Amino acid sequence: MTSVAGDPVAPAAVLRNRTHRRSIARLLSTVALAAPLTVWLAALVAVPLGILVVYSFWRVVAFQIVHVYSLANYRASFSRVFLRALENSLVIGLSTAAITCVIAFALAWAVRFRVRRGKNLLLLAIVAASAGSYLARIYAWRGILGAQGAINSFLTAVHLTSGPLGFLIFNRGAVIVALVNLFVPYAFLPIYANLLAVDPEILEAGRVLGAGPIRNLRHVALPLTAVGLATSFVYVLIFATGDFAIPTFLGGPTGLPAAQVIQSQFGEIFNWPLGAAMAIVYLLVLGGISALLAVYAGRRSRRLAR
Amino acid sequence: MRLRLPGWPWLVIGGTLLFLYGPVFVTGLFSFSDSNVAGFPLRALTVRWYVNLWHDPQFRESGLFSVKIAAVSTVIAVLIGTPAALAAARSRSVGMRFLSGFYVVPLLLPALVLAVSMAAMFRLLNVRLTFWTVLAGHVVMSAPLIFLVVGARLRGFDWSLPDAARVLGASQVQAFLRVTAPLLAPAVLGGAILAFAISMDNFVVSLFLTGGSSTLPLLIWSRMREFFDPTVNAMATLYIVMTLLAAVIAERVSGLRATRAAS
């Protein structure tokens, strides 16, 4: 095939015809390239989510799902039990997200501005920490926080305590510790990427102009990294509230989060329609909070741009 | 600079690394501990749990199942994710921009919601849960990842290179195979390694979409629930070594740049 540019004598009509044909070919090839993934995700994400919505209006009678439409599941979702579970989820999710972001920010700051040698190796070590079996890690926390775990053995060995401390495990705190451990590497990346764009000279300028470390952080560094921080925060919030394995193993009997309640509806309790309604309520609450955070972060970084 | 208190950055870095690798380290330690309880002090060292694992038919079976699922789902994810990334990189249309947003939805939704909605659909359509349903679910999780990693590589891609090949007389197919594909290969390979590792570690999707067979994480889950079983530590240690290697290789192959741009 000859290119249009290499054909100087082609009349205008032929040229137009060729570009026209070429743009159609281009469109067709784009459609062909995008089709497989589009179809796969439409069939296995979009359609199932729609079906989940339909399920949420059905009922279970004698362990059979009956296709009768009612709002009963939503009424049950707004019962005190599930609202308490949602509250537990949000407390766990928001504290995990906040702690994770503080650690990730401090870490990203230290790596960005204070590390000179071995930076790549350090970055690799941080990112690689997200690898490794997720369930095995939960298991390991029992060996760390449990009655005979690393912390209690150490405390008893140095005679700081006479017996094992029971409050280390099987409560909300243990759940949050395990979640933070899981998400720090993920939260680190967007914040670090933001900090890469922050020129150390800007911070130096703030200092020269008389801003103390706290003011410099609040008025210079935080607005510059608002987008990265918000991304990390929302990401951790979504995945921390969506987890049910960690509360199952480390959370103890009280303060069940929504994800664990939803999982049990699809598992042991076998009330899929109710589980579907709960999942949708949970998604809407989460979506609302994420949208608010996104708007807030967008406004902060825009205010800076002005 | 007055801010520079001696050592605080290294305190943060050291403390965080200790925290991040603490569970990994403890798991490795317990996997060699000659005791039936997870606790200190460690009395003696043993490789008993690894030997048990080697002779454990359930471990072999679910290990094989996991590897099959991970391998096939990664191949499918690459085959459908890479073309979509190419389409998104070449087209500026509104429709394509909408689709690019749609493709990352699985990465933004809690896996629990994705998994139960797929299970609900399969149940409604009377699809029996087998290898194929698990496979379909794993591709949902990994194809968007391939799309992002390859897409990140394409953002800095110099389209004048394949164009130059065309001007020099290469056909469209030749230009793709000889110029575009080799330039994309590192990103595709890096994404594939990540997708494989993520599939091997996937727990939630497998839990809701499997029929009788267990993946490795499902085996670990059931053993964790039943009783204290030190072979879980041995299994986990093998796992961690494997995924750490995968992460290091992926980094070597495609560089942190791809991961960073993807997030």
Residue-wise pLDDT tens digits, B180-189:
888 899 889 9
Tell whether A3 lies on the interface with B, counting CB pairs under 8 A: yes
Task: Name A3's bridge partners.
Answer: none
Nearest to A102 by CA among B12, B262, B259: B12
Owning domain of residue B256:
56-262
Indicate the length of chain A as a whole number.
306
Domain assignment of residue B159, yes or no: yes
The amino acid occupying position A195 is: L
Rounded average pLDDT over B93-110: 93
> Do B104 and B144 form a contact (C-beta atoms < 8 A)?
yes
Q: Which residue of A has its CA nearest to B235?
A: A136
Distance from the first to the final alpha carbon of chain A = 51
The Cα-based distances of A30 to A20, B45, B88, B89, B92 in angstroms read 15, 59, 8, 10, 11
Asked if B39's CB is within 8 angstroms of A146's CB, the reply is yes
Tell whether A291 lies on the interface with B, counting CB pairs under 8 A: no
Domain assignment of residue B19, yes or no: no
Element (DSSP H or E) covering residue B199? helix B181-201
Tell whether A134 lies on the interface with B, counting CB pairs under 8 A: yes
Domain assignment of residue B12, yes or no: no
> Do A203 and A216 form a contact (C-beta atoms < 8 A)?
yes
Ranges of CATH 1.10.3720.10 domains, chain A = 72-305
Chain B hits for A141, CB-CB cut-off 8 Å, are 23
Task: List pLDDT tens digits, range A111-149.
Answer: 998 888 888 889 988 988 887 778 888 888 888 888 878
Rounded to whole angstroms, the Cα distance separating A89 from A253 reads 15
Confidence of residue A11 (pLDDT cuts 50, 70, 90): low
Q: Hey, is B33 helix, strand or coil?
A: strand
Which DSSP string corresponds to A53-113? HHHTT-EEETTEEE----SHHHHHHTSHHHHHHHHHHHHHHHHHHHHHHHHHHHHHHHHHH
Q: Which residue of A has its CA nearest to B165?
A: A3
Q: What is the pLDDT of residue B42?
A: 73
State the CATH number of the domain containing residue B95.
Answer: 1.10.3720.10
> Do A162 and B232 form a contact (C-beta atoms < 8 A)?
no
CATH annotation of A72-305: 1.10.3720.10
Domain assignment of residue B143, yes or no: yes
Q: What is the pLDDT of residue A37?
A: 97
Domain assignment of residue B1, yes or no: no
B25 exposure class (CB count in 10 Å sphere: 0-12, 13-18, 19+): middle
Domain tally, chain B: 1
Rounded to whole angstroms, the Cα distance separating A124 from A126 reads 5
**Any idea which residue has 């059905």 for tokens?**
A58
Domain assignment of residue B50, yes or no: no
Domain assignment of residue B105, yes or no: yes
The Cα-based distances of A167 to A100, A164, A250, B141 in angstroms read 22, 9, 11, 37
Tell whether B141 lies on the interface with A, counting CB pairs under 8 A: no
Rounded to whole angstroms, the Cα distance separating B228 from B224 reads 7
Q: What is the pTM of this model?
A: 0.88
Q: Per-residue pLDDT for A1 more than 50?
A: no
Task: Name A64's bridge partners.
Answer: A61
Domain assignment of residue B84, yes or no: yes
Residues 75-104 of B with CB under 8 A from A: 79-81, 83-84, 86-88, 90-91, 93, 96, 99, 102-103
Tell whether B64 lies on the interface with A, counting CB pairs under 8 A: no
